[in-house]
Amino acid sequence: MENLENELNRIQDYAETILDVVAELRALANDVPTKQAPQGGRKGVFPCVIGPSTKPSLNVLRS
C-alpha cells in the first residue's frame, strides 16, 4: 500500500509540474509579437490548448 501511495504522490508531482510549465508557456505566449507587429500588431494570439482536459492522462505519466 505504501508503494501505491508513493507512486500516486510521484504522479501528482508530475502533474503539478506539467501544469506549472503550461502556465509559464501561456504567460510567455502573451509576450510574443505576431507577424502583424510592424502595423501595431497584437500580442498573445497564440492559443495554448492541451486537449479536452487540462488533467494529464495516467497513461502518459506511466512512461
pTM: 0.47
Phi-psi region of 50 (alpha: psi -120 to 50; beta: other; left: phi over 0): alpha
Q: How many CB atoms lie within 10 A of CB 25?
A: 12
Q: How far apart are CA 60 and CA 10, in angstroms?
A: 13
Domain that holds residue 10: 2-61
CA distances from 30 to 26, 45, 47 (A): 6, 7, 9
Instruction: Report which of residues 17 and 54 the model is more confident about.
Output: 17
Residue 14 has pLDDT above 90, yes or no: yes
Number of domains in the chain: 1
Q: What is the pLDDT of residues 15-47, one digit of tens each?
A: 999 999 999 998 888 877 665 545 555 555 555
Residue 31 contacts residue 42 (beta carbons within 8 Å): no
